[in-house]
Chain A
């Protein structure tokens, strides 16, 4: 069965600092991996996704993520955080021929001006 863990429940960073949000998954083969962002009071929006190929994936809003098969990880990064990045971030895993996606518990990001 697939599962997703996000070890950090809450992270606080200063504006302009770099950011890394961790995501680990459990799946027997290469999964489909997603990062979604949820701004306060809003639905979820896709930041980026990985299927195959280049293990470094670029997304919207200046985010990127790196797939590391050996570590079963798909960590999200941003070199310089903006105050508007304060939100909840969810990692999710899917699989070929599988119509459902499993979401992690989320990491809440606070940004100090």
Chain B
């Protein structure tokens, strides 16, 4: 049982390049989330998916797109990376049906955009 996995762990991009961050969970959770973490700002929600086939914008969605490929996988795409997107990105999942359920987090992807 690996929990939530993310790839890659580190990435350096040049401005304008694109990339996809991958996330997978093996806990049969319905809900999945993408956050970015910046110093002094905590975690800010980028997008989330309440179930397979549905996605919704979070607090900071501009410049990102997501795909809920199936129940296990939820990817985050940067179409044209900007230096402002330099951050640590976390994927999380949660068993839905009760918002009291905790979120389980992946180890994060550290992204630098030059």
Interface residues of A (CB under 8 A from B): 4, 9, 32, 34, 36, 41-46, 49, 51, 90, 94-101, 103-106
B79 contacts partner chain A, Cβ-Cβ < 8 Å: no
- B43: which A residues are within 8 A, CB to CB? 44, 90, 103
Nearest-neighbour CB distance to chain B for A6, whole angstroms, equals: 8
Chain B 71-114, CB-CB to A under 8 Å as 1, else 0, gives: 00000000000000000001010001001101101111000000
Interface residues of B (CB under 8 A from A): 4, 31, 33, 35, 40-45, 48, 50, 58, 90, 92, 96, 99-100, 102-103, 105-108
- A96: which B residues are within 8 A, CB to CB? 99
Nearest-neighbor residue (CB-CB) of A50 within chain B: B100
- A44: which B residues are within 8 A, CB to CB? 43, 90, 92, 103, 105
* Residue in A41, A46, A97 whose CB lies within 8 Å of B99: A97
Q: Are A43 and B102 in contact (CB under 8 A)?
A: no
Q: In the bound complex, what is the Cα–Cα distance between A100 and B59 (angstroms)?
A: 10
Interface-centre pick from B35, B44, B99, B106 (highest chain A CB count, 10 A): B99
Q: Are B4 and A43 in contact (CB under 8 A)?
A: yes
- B31: which A residues are within 8 A, CB to CB? 99
